[in-house]
Structure 1
Amino acid sequence: MANGLIHVHEDNGQFHLTNGLISYIIGIEAGKPLNLYAGRAIADKSDFSYLIDRHFRVLTTTYEEDGNLRPELVRMEYPEYGRGDFREPALTVLQADGSRVTDLKYVGYRVLPGKPELEALPSTRADSADVAETLQIRLLDELIGLQVTLNYTIFTNEAVIARSVLVENLGSQSLTIERAASLNLDLPDSDYTMTEFVGAWAREREPHSQPLHPGMQAIGSTRGASSPNFNPTAIIARPDTNEQDGEAWGLAFVYSGNFDLHAEVDSYQATRLQLGINPLGFSWHLAPGEHFQTPEALLGHTTHGLNDLSHTFHRIVLDHLQRPQWRRRERPILINNWEATYFDFTEDKLLELARTAKAQGIELFVLDDGWFGSRTSDRSGLGDWVANPDRLPEGVAGIARKINDIGMQFGLWFEPEMANTDSDVVRAHPDWVISAPGRGQSMYRHQHVLNFANQAVVDSVYGQMHAILDSANVAYIKWDMNRFITEAFDATRGLERQGEMLHRYILGVYELYRRLLEAFPNLIIEGCSSGGARFDMGILAYSPQIWTSDDTDAIERLHVQYGTSYFYPVAAMGAHVSITPNHQTGRCEPIDTRANVAMFGTFGYEMDLNHVPQSDLAAIRRQTAFFKTFAPLIHNGDFYRLAAPAGNRKTAWMSVAADRSQALVADFCILGVPNRPLSRLHMQGLDPERWYEVRYRDANEPVEAAQSSAGDAVDAGSVAGDAGASAGAGAGIADTAGVAAALAGFHMLPGVYSGAELMHVGLDDTDLFGRDFNSRLYFVSEQGTVAAE
């Protein structure tokens, strides 16, 4: 209780977690932990037991210990199976005699300063003891020796509770966990709308909302990865909640494998929310003395609308989840050769592309698929992590040195979890491929999944990757995963352990991440899974950025990045400017519109710069200079969604400095409107009483010499990551001269505008909507803080 975030009332067994933003109150009744209240912060007092529902209802059973406590009606903290609560249990345990009935009773608690790490799993962090406090509540089923520890962490300045559960077998007989949720929250009513983030390859994380209804509504994955189909996040909001106002809960899973997230509304209109590992195909054998740790789940709350909820989760990712080495630090602008060359490249071709990229201010060259083994197509070589001498005559070390000599950092693509049938690793170790005895093997992209539940596989892949990284100056890895798991079976374990395979697989993935980053702590690993098929909080604990989608079309990316932003910060979204016509959609969009979308991400390029017009190269020089100036504002400002792309001809968003002195606004026309009506852009997050100047530039304006020369104002060879500077999270950009140079070619709107005017009256942007795919950037700065151009 060092920080005063957790108030313990031992006389009546109540615990109140509160930080002035959120309150979460637990009470022990009849030995059971009940949720008494969860929501907006309230003052602490000695007794909240009046919040327990003790009303009689027909056909509802009671406990022997308390005849007025009906488990079917009360708000259980961690509901069990078989004791009168007929809703979905959080925990189901198969016992030696075939019974699944458990009776967990409260036996004690601990309050810890800070936040303990979870064994073998990613989780949020408290870098010092004064930024968080953790409550551990222990429950015990004496008959079978089953102990369950409920972990709750509350952060000092965030409306978030981090939840996880430790299950231990203290008895003398083996147990089998069949279901173990990480989070259970019972709410007293069902007047909510549930928003999930759904999609498929190239159209990930599109928001989909529907009112809660009696029964079950659920999302999940059984693919072995969190998947592009359903992201392991959801928003439970009051029906009148919008981006600026209203109450909502946010749920996010710090996990990258199979998950289940559901809302269950009972016949009394109460709601149960659960989040955890998907029980389909899952079980975990607990021999006496063994334990199981669930992944972490995050529960966030707001009464100020969905933008505020997003800001909370963005800060949790940036300040408490990501590794300190790259936390709130700018990463280099990159170029990836994939859409420029695919498999058709030579070292000379790569170096020519790198020299051109360097001249435009790009800082990191990434060599994608095709550099290793016998890999000249997707049919062979995958899994053999040795440089192909026909492609790289001096190996990875040689091309890395040559790229460094050009003045760029070097990055490399891996797909560590996969192998082709036609590969040395599969020929030597066919048993390393995931397959079920006597069954055929499903195929996709001519590749198989290696069994990362097998320690020998993890060790082998680590050894190959370590040898390359230890011998060459590799600053960045793109970690891809292009196939889901089928025929799930672990040939290294027996019958009682088969249900563990998919979870052990993810633990193996996390182990490889940890070992690589322990050996090479400054390495940037960009997560990727056919684009955004494993874009989740678990990967973000190791990767400061994830490739958001394989769809590089800017207009499609508006949808993807918009939906992604509800839980994930802009700084985590890998985003590139690609060629036109786009390789996925065939659309032709202005290069500045493509850049204006990608800049609200980690920013990079994916095109053959040696085959684009000189005007595009001039634009790229200006774009890289602009991004280097404004990246701290984009990545560390509060991100506001202003207009949604779904069902609309426009999209708009903005990043506002924490001190509200500056903002960068992006306004996009999806489709032009003939004889168009009046349109106004309403900003958010500004100080209503300050006065602001507004500058703007449209994507369809011609590139002028003055603008392209702005690229010379920034040293193209300086990479933020090398300098080790932290971007911080507070004020706007202090280098006013640099800002003025980056704004060359922007137009100043006449006069000044109060923050209230920009937010409530808005700016007339009607003329933006005359042409398809047009876009406009606005830079908003407090009056007199930016030098005149």
Structure 2
Amino acid sequence: MIEERQHVFYITTAHTSYWFRVTAHGQLEHLYYGPRLTPQDPTAVAFKHTSGLGSTVAYDEQDWTYSLDTLPQEYASFGRGDFRDSPLILKMADGSYVSDFVYQEHHIYSGVAPSKTLPQATDQPDTGSQTLYVTLRDKLQAITLELAYTVLPDSDVITRRVVLHNNTAKPLVIDRIMSAQWDMPNRGYALHSFAGAWASEMQHHVQPVTDGTIVLNSLTGGSSNKQNPGFLLSAAEATEDTGWAYGVNLLYSGNHESRIQHTNQNFVRLMTGINSQGFHWSVAPGEAFETPSAALTFSDRGLNGVSQHFHKFINDNVVPPAFQHQDRPIVYNNWEATYFNFNEDKLFALAQQAKDLGVELFVIDDGWFGTRDDDTQGLGDYTVNARKFPHGLPAFVQRVHGLGLKVGLWFEPEMVNENSDLYRAHPEWAVHVPGRAPVLGRHQLVLDLTQPAVQDYIVQQVSHVIDTTGIDYVKWDMNRHITDMYSPALADNAEFNHRYILGLYAVLRRIFRPRPQVLLETCSSGGNRFDLGMLTFGPQIWSSDDTDPIERLTIQQGLSYLYPQSAISAHVSASPNQQTLRVVPLSTRGNVASFGVLGYEMDLNALTDADRAEIREQTAFYKQYRHLLQFGTFTRHPAAQPQQFRWQVQAGDTAIAGFFQQHISAAHGYDCLPVTGLAPETMYTMASKPQRIMLSQYAGLLDHLPAAQGRTSIPDAQEHYTGTGALLATGVMLNNQFMLSGYSDQVRMLGDYGSTLYVIQPEQE
């Protein structure tokens, strides 16, 4: 709900309130963002200005206590006495960089603010979403800013974006324009950011917000595995489950920038938007520029509260409507089984085995087109390889459909090899600076999506394959960062990075909006482009090329702060793992991947009968609890011991708790498993998921354990507890007296890298 009373704006979601007002001098003063309050006199929360401060510049000499440098603002101007980082830097027609934007008018509309070129959130019917437009005008130049606030009340998210209109007779140049900025009092905040690298994405970093500015950014051309655009702030007293916390993310897939500045007035200024480094944008007379949307949320229930708000927002308001709350299929991908070395008979044999194991979607990865027998050639030529598919790809897809499986294909449409028919025909379509030899990444160049002809080619090629084969799924990959940023189609190549992303969005819109039934999974050399912008086109993203489940615990937990498990594509792969050579039980590989969109990526011909039996059990369990695992409320429980992870999902009266350990030590004490959200005075049954053991791992040892002789699996066990919403502490992890005293629980039975899943349900009378 949005209200305006005497130039005070009250924005209310289900559990939060966001307030700001127009000051007597026309600036927007930020008042409050926190737990939901009843709209009231803003003087109760307004900041007092009772004296001038030394060298502080007064905005109006008639009011010497009023300074922009000490005012908590909603969107600051530049060069008029506010010496903090500015969200907006413009080169005016007169050559100056000074701006002075003040309130002009506002309007409140039902629904979501529309955007012609950029992704945006969508609203659910009957949820009361609204958009507030506040128009600011520069006091000297005929330039206006529209600040758009969209409230999605059920998700407890507010989106913000800016539209700049040039109403002068001359062009102006944007050097920086942030999607959102606001100032708030410091509460001893810690910053939670998510940086990493290839195969090590979304590492959770925590640092105090101290004097100065922290900059989080990407310069790769994408939202980046180096720094995800999302971040969180937690107040000094906050934990995973308690205290004040804020979340910020960007519906954008290109170079981004967030700035967190602590000032000497003990305010924190937050801003996020397009990366200003190497960015300039000329706005011609009569034209406008719109920023991506920023998503903001707050919770007084700690970091889990913020995450749960974002999860609901993505599931309800971001992913394509056709896939909102729709169960995702279990995938088999042939890549780690065959790489480029396959033919239709080999693939069909894998498809038959995948079907027998409970898989629902068979995906053919790289190598099905052109002369693509390795990664040095063929990229860009999406004609089917007749040697690998002598009967044609449509016939093969129909054959796999006959097994009862859906079928998907891998594409990398934004890239091209120099050794390809496409490059030989159109070398000018590859991104490069004239006169400079372009640098290669993985033997490939980037196609120039700022050129309409390139966009048309990609749309035609991918659409033709989808339509002629009848595939159900597309994996859209991008396996290198963007360099040599130049296009002959642009008058100013400082606009290249943003125009490339606009071109990408145009291509995705043209391919997938008319084909809403096609499941799009995006990928960028793993999680190099895991962002809200891409999720508006496809509901799931390949989170990392590292399929080692012990590494994935860290990656998937990092992702969980910003993204729901329904968006996290997670595969079970071979052991030893191909990235780390680590040996991990199949049970743990399946348990970790179950807290996401489950898939398999291994040579099925190498499986033992025991492996096959366990995978069938995994897929059956996942299908039984799929909706809960993909869409249930996700909670991170702090680890009681180092190198432990404890996750939970809950929906209604059922929960699944996961306990994972990366390392076992001798003489380890009792563990406890927290489970939240249980109903008081209700008796619950906690059943551990049966899982097989690797007998070869315990050769010799089992011969001396009478209780273990002849066993090939850890049996199901049940305990009974009264739900209190608190810790279930007494012996929860010790429900199988199976090995030596003191080492008897299921996790320790598997030693290092062990895990167990527990299903918690009300006891049946």
TM over 0.5: yes
1:663 and 2:652 correspond: no
Residue 630 in structure 1 maps to residue 625 in structure 2: yes
Asked if 1:61 is matched to 2:57, the reply is yes
Distance 2:227 2:170 in 1: 38
CA distance in 1, matches of 2:352, 2:615: 14
- 380 and 125 in structure 1: CA distance in 2 versus 1, 3 angstrom threshold: same
Q: Does 1:430 align with 2:427?
A: yes
How is 1:265-276 mapped onto 2 (pairs within 5 angstroms)? 265-276=262-273
Q: Deviations over 1:442-497 (max 9, x none)?
A: 11110001111111111111001111111111100000000111111121122xx3
Instruction: Please point out which of 131, 136, 145 is paired with 2:133.
Output: 136
Aligned match of 1:740: none
Cα deviation for residue 188 of structure 1 reads 1.8
Deviations 1:547-581 (A, max 9, x none): 01100011111111011001100010000110111
What is the one-letter code of the residue matched to 1:747?
D
Match of 2:167 among 154, 170, 184: 170
Per-residue deviation at 1:344? Answer: 0.8
Instruction: Summarize the alignment of residues 481-496 of structure 1 with structure 2, pairs less than 5 Å apart.
Output: 481-494=478-491
Give the aligned partner of residue 314 of structure 2. 317
Matches within 5 A, 1:296-445: 296-445=293-442
CA 1:454/1:330 → structure 2, altered by over 3 Å: closer, same or farther? same
Report the counterpart of residue 6 of structure 1 in structure 2: 2
- SS of aligned partner of 2:597: coil
Q: Distance in 1 between matches of 2:58 and 2:211?
A: 23
Q: What is aligned with 1:563?
A: 558
Q: Deviations over 1:39-81 (max 9, x none)?
A: 1222212443861341321111122274432000001111111
Matched residue of 1:387: which SS? coil
Assess if the C-alpha contact under 8 Å between 2:127 and 2:154 holds in 1. no
Give 2:499's aligned amino acid: R
Does residue 23 (structure 1) correspond to residue 17 (structure 2)? The answer is yes
Look up the match of 1:124.
121
Q: Please list, as runs of the form range in 1=range in 2, the aligned pairs for 1:16-55 lying within 5 A after superposition.
A: 16-29=10-23, 30-48=25-43, 51-55=46-50
Q: Determine the C-alpha separation between the residues in 2 that align with 1:610 and 1:87.
A: 62
1:587 — aligned with what?
582
Distance 2:158 2:369 in 1: 45
After superposing the two structures, state which structure 1 stretch, 476-485 or 89-98, moved more.
Answer: 89-98
- Partner residue, 1:780: 760
Deviates more, 1:676-685 or 1:192-201: 676-685
Q: How far apart in 2 are the matches of 1:131 and 1:342?
A: 50
Pairing 1:211-290 to 2, within 5 Å after superposition: 211-290=208-287
**Does the alignment pair 1:617 with 2:609?**
no
Q: Which residue of 2 aligns with 1:723?
A: none
1: distance between equivalents of 2:718 and 2:761?
12
Structure 1, 46-55 or 308-317: larger mean CA deviation: 46-55
397-406 or 363-372: which moved more?
A: 397-406
1:687 and 2:685 correspond: no
Q: Secondary structure, in 3 states, of the residue corresponding to 1:24? A: strand
Instruction: State the secondary structure of the residue aligned to 2:475.
Output: strand
- Residues 245, 49 of structure 1: CA spacing in aligned structure 2 closer, same or farther, 3 A cutoff? closer
The aligned counterpart of 1:534 is 529
Partner of 2:698: none
* Residue of structure 2 equivalent to 1:720: none
Q: 1-side partners of 2:127 and 2:575: how far apart?
A: 51
Residue 669 of structure 1 aligns to which amino acid in structure 2? Q
Q: TM-score, structure 2 length as denominator?
A: 0.93
Give how far 1:611 is off: 1.7
Q: Which amino acid counterpart does residue 413 of structure 1 have in structure 2?
A: W
Q: How large is the Cα RMSD of the aligned pairs?
A: 1.8
**Cα distance in 2 for residues equivalent to 1:248 and 1:757:** 21
SS class of match (1:244): coil
SS in structure 2 of the partner of residue 79 of structure 1: coil
Q: Which amino acid aligns with 2:761?
A: S
Q: CA, structure 1 residues 246+759, in 2 after alignment: closer, same or farther (shift >3 Å)?
A: farther
Match of 1:676 among 668, 688, 693: 668
Aligned AA for 1:32? Q
- Calculate the TM-score normalised by the size of structure 1: 0.90
Q: Is the 8 A contact 1:656 1:686 kept in 2?
A: no
Give the Å deviation of 1:756: 4.1
Distance, in Å, in 2 between the alignment partners of 1:619 and 1:651 is: 23
CA separation of 1:128 and 1:20: change in aligned 2, threshold 3 A: closer
Give the distance between the partners of 2:142 and 2:639, measured in 1 at CA. Answer: 52
Given that residues 642 and 684 in structure 1 are in contact (C-alpha distance below 8 angstroms), is that contact kept between their aligned partners in structure 2?
no
CA distance in 1, matches of 2:471, 2:453: 25
Q: Which residue type is aligned with residue 372 of structure 1?
A: F
Q: Distance in 1 between matches of 2:726 and 2:718?
A: 14
Moved segments of 4+, more than 6 Å: none
Of residues 731, 748, 769, the one that matches 2:748 is 769
Q: Does 1:749 align with 2:718?
A: yes
Contact 1:114 1:129 in 2 (8 A): no
Q: Which one of the candidate residues 587, 599, 607 is aligned to 1:604?
A: 599
Cα offset, 1:142, TM superposition:
4.7
Q: Structure 2: which amino acid aligns with 1:780? A: I
Distance 1:88 1:761 in 2: 52
- Cα distance between partner residues in 1 of 2:676 and 2:285: 56
Q: Separation in 1 of the partners of 2:276 and 2:681?
A: 53
Cα distance in structure 1, aligned partners of 2:8 and 2:485: 44
More moved, 269-278 vs 509-518: 509-518
DSSP-derived class of the 2:249 partner? strand
How many Å apart are 1:33 and its aligned residue? 1.2
1:549 corresponds to which of 540, 544, 547 = 544
How far does residue 129 in structure 1 lie from its aligned partner after superposition?
5.9
Distance in 1 of aligned mates of 2:278 and 2:362: 41
Which residue number corresponds to residue 199 of structure 1? 196
AA aligned opposite 1:92: I
Whether the aligned pair in 2 keeps the contact of 1:752 and 1:783 (CA below 8 Å) is: no
Match of 1:102 among 51, 74, 99: 99
Distance 2:432 2:187 in 1: 43
Q: Which amino acid in 1 is paired with 2:4?
A: V
Give the superposition deviation at 1:701: 3.8
Q: Is the 8 A contact 1:144 1:171 kept in 2?
A: yes
Structure 1 distance, partners of 2:577, 2:21, is 57
CA distance in 2: counterparts of 1:103 and 1:580, whole angstroms: 62
Matched position secondary structure for 2:154: coil
Q: Does 1:293 align with 2:295?
A: no
Take 2:754 and 2:40, find their aligned partners in 1: how far apart are those partners? 57
Query: In structure 2, what is the Cα distance between the partners aligned to 1:332 and 1:250?
Result: 30
Do the aligned partners of residues 59 and 142 (structure 1) sit closer, same or farther apart at CA in structure 2, a change above 3 Å counting?
Answer: closer
| Equivalent-residue separation in structure 2 for 1:36 and 1:243 (angstroms) | 26
Q: Identify the residue that residue 497 of structure 2 maps to in structure 1.
A: 502
Q: Distance in 1 between matches of 2:386 and 2:488?
A: 35
Task: Provide the aligned length of Structure 1 versus Structure 2.
Answer: 734
**How far has the Cα of 1:773 moved from its partner?**
1.4
Quote the offset at 1:94 in angstroms. Answer: 0.8
Deviations 1:588-613 (A, max 9, x none): 11111101011111111001112211
1:153 aligns with 2:133: no
Percent identity between the aligned chains?
38
Aligned mates of 1:311, 1:759 — CA distance in 2: 22
Unaligned runs of 5+ in 1: 704-743
The residue number in structure 1 matching 2:708 is none
SS at match of 1:622: helix
SS for the counterpart of 1:231 is: coil
Task: Decide which moves more: 211-220 or 115-124.
Answer: 115-124
Answer whether contact 1:114 1:130 (CA < 8 A) is retained: no
Aligned to 1:205, the other structure's residue is in SS state strand
Deviations 1:202-241 (A, max 9, x none): 1110110011110111111011001111110111111221
1: CA distance between counterparts of 2:626 and 2:184? 40
Shift of 1:688: 3.5
Gaps of 5+ in 2: 696-712, 735-742
Helix, strand or coil for the counterpart of 1:343?
Answer: coil
